[in-house]
Amino acid sequence: MNVWKIDFSYGGEIPDYMREGLRQWVMFGRTPGHFLTAVLKNDLREACVRADDTNVALLLTYVRFLYNEVPGTCWGSKDHVTSWLRNVDIEIVREENFVKQLKRHGFGDMLGNLASQAEMLDVDDDEAREKLEEAEAWLKKISEL
């Protein structure tokens, strides 16, 4: 599962103020607030007690989102949550840190310029087009940070 492609808005159904907590949990194992933690642990009673008026009505939406969009190993039980917290995919963290370094040193602008120039050349070569798509993917990651 490619966590970079997850739509944390779930088609706009998950409120803006909850999306970052979900993203931080899935991608980096950063513990969210009490409500989301209860949802992740599959603790209905605690989730209902911790939910605000908006989120109590969206409990089914959260379960559908988790079931359909995120790795099953990061939610569903207290054991899954504990394990994810300890063993979050280190490659995701490494990639995120690499992208931050690229952005810090101005390589995001360089990739953007490279992609623009390649598009203007209207490259027909499949390999060159693949490299362009790869550069554009990195550019998108950098711009999302």
User: Per-residue confidence at 33, pLDDT binned at 50, 70, 90?
Assistant: very high
Q: Do 89 and 45 form a contact (C-beta atoms < 8 A)?
A: no
Question: Using CA atoms, how far apart are residues 29 and 85, in angstroms rounded to an integer?
Answer: 5
Closest CA to 57 of 19, 12, 13, 8: 13
The larger pLDDT score, comparing residue 64 to residue 117, is at 64
> What does each C-alpha distance from 14 to 4, 57, 62, 142, 143 come to in angstroms?
18, 11, 7, 24, 22
Whether the CA torsion 29, 21, 82, 7 is positive or negative: it is negative
Handedness of CA 89, 30, 77, 65 (dihedral sign): negative
Within 10 angstroms of residue 114's Cβ, the number of other Cβ atoms is: 16
Residue pointed to by tokens 């504990």:
82
87-143: per-residue pLDDT in tens? Answer: 765 555 556 555 666 666 566 555 555 555 555 555 556 666 676 677 677 666 666
Distance CA 100, CA 85 (A): 22
- pLDDT category at 50 given cuts 50, 70, 90 is very high
